[in-house]
């Protein structure tokens, strides 16, 4: 919403008077005097008029959920339970998901109402690493490590996947680090090696790891350190 419009609604000032007040330097946005009546202010901006808070900063929300398999990674679904249905925070219905998982995948899901944060987190060039634990139907061959590092050509998107790090943990078990999130990406990658994913679990996103003491189906707010630190983890390759 434009600043002039926001101010005009206050005490029914009207647009002309609102604009004059802005030009007279009586309005601050996030503590700074703003003279531009057409400035776009988002719902998180703190706007002051004559030194009084016009509209308080909205509560910025950041949560993690330990998603069980079978729960949909969406805010609403006509048929299935969603990650939001697992929560009971009063503001849960204004959240969006920062990085979905398939219905049968388990593990870390982040939810927020902070569009700037999630946009930054999901930006393709942010290259925030996402770490998954994978179980497969057939043995994972040692040459798969190089194949994942080289990338796979995805015909539908006409692209080669970014180098991914595959650590073989057992005959049919691996840890995989991706720096992107394409549709069914891990299942498609393993399929290209002639294998099949039978279980998939997300362990971490950037600097945020699913805590061992957060049971499946449980959720909690992120700490300040997690909110800021999610971007800090270096690309792991
Ligand atoms: N890749 C997949 O195939 N599924 C997920 O849920 C996440 C990554």
In a domain, 234, yes or no: no
In a domain, 237, yes or no: no
Per-residue pLDDT tens over the stretch 24-44: 999 999 889 999 999 988 767
Q: How confident is the model at residue 93 (pLDDT cuts 50, 70, 90)?
A: confident
List active site positions: 102
Q: Which residue's CA is the nearest one to ligand 1's atom 4?
A: 184
Residue among 208, 203, 34 nearest 134 (CA): 203
Report in angstroms the alpha-carbon separations of 85 from 90, 93, 94, 137, 162.
12, 9, 13, 31, 34
CATH number where 194 lies:
3.30.2350.10
Phi/psi at 53 (5° precision): -70, 120
237 has pLDDT over 60:
no
Q: Where are the alpha helices (DSSP H) in the chain?
A: 3-9, 15-23, 115-122, 144-150, 185-192, 224-229
From the CA of 181, give the closest atom in ligand 1.
8
Cβ 5 vs Cβ 12: under 8 Å = no
Pair 68, 36 in one domain? no
In a domain, 70, yes or no: yes
> Which of 97, 157, 184, 197 gets mutated to test ligand 1 (max ligand atoms within 8 A of its CB)?
184
Pair 99, 214 in one domain? yes
Residues with CB under 6 A from ligand 1: 101-102, 105, 184-187, 200
From the CA of 105, give the closest atom in ligand 1.
6
In this structure, of 46-50, 183-187, 206-210, the range with the lowest mean pLDDT score is 46-50
Burial 131-152 (b: 16+ CB within 10 A, else e): bbbbebeeebeeebbeebeeeb
Dihedral of the alpha carbons of 146, 155, 236, 125, in degrees to the nearest 10:
150
Pair 174, 216 in one domain? yes
In a domain, 236, yes or no: no
Q: How many domains does the chain have?
A: 2
> Which of 131, 135, 187 gets mutated to test ligand 1 (max ligand atoms within 8 A of its CB)?
187
CATH number where 18 lies:
3.10.290.10
Spacing, Cα 212 to ligand 1 middle (Å): 21
Cβ 97 vs Cβ 83: under 8 Å = yes
Pair 149, 172 in one domain? yes
Q: Which residue's CA is the nearest one to ligand 1's atom 2?
A: 184
Containing structural domain, residue 188: 62-229
Arithmetic mean of pLDDT, 74-102: 93
Helix, strand, coil proportions of the chain in percent (round to 5)? 25, 30, 45
Domain boundary among 14, 30, 55: 55
Q: Which residue's CA is the nearest one to ligand 1's atom 3?
A: 184
From the CA of 189, give the closest atom in ligand 1.
3
Per-residue pLDDT tens over the stretch 149-184: 999 999 999 999 999 999 999 999 999 999 999 999
């Amino acid at each position: 919403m434009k600043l002039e419009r926001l101010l005009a609604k206050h005490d029914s000032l009207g647009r002309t008077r609102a604009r004059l007040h802005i030009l007279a330097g009586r309005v601050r946005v996030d503590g700074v005097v703003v003279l531009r009546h057409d400035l776009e202010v988002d719902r998180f901006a703190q706007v002051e008029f004559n030194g009084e808070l016009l509209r308080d900063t909205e509560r910025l929300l950041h949560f993690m959920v330990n998603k069980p398999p079978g729960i949909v990674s969406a805010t609403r679904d006509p048929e299935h339970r969603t990650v939001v249905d697992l929560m009971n925070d009063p503001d849960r219905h204004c959240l969006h998901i920062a990085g979905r998982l398939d219905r049968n995948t388990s593990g870390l899901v982040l939810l927020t109402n902070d569009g700037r944060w999630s946009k930054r987190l999901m930006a393709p060039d942010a290259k925030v690493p996402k770490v998954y634990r994978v179980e497969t139907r057939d043995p994972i061959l040692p040459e798969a490590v190089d194949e994942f590092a080289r990338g796979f050509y995805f015909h539908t998107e006409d692209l080669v996947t970014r180098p991914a790090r595959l650590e073989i943990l057992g005959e049919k078990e691996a840890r995989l680090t991706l720096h992107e999130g394409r549709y069914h990406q891990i299942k498609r990658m393993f399929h290209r090696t002639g294998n099949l994913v039978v279980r998939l679990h997300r362990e971490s996103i950037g600097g945020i790891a699913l805590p061992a003491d957060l049971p499946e189906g449980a959720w909690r707010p992120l700490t300040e350190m997690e909110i800021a630190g999610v971007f800090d983890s270096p690309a792991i390759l």
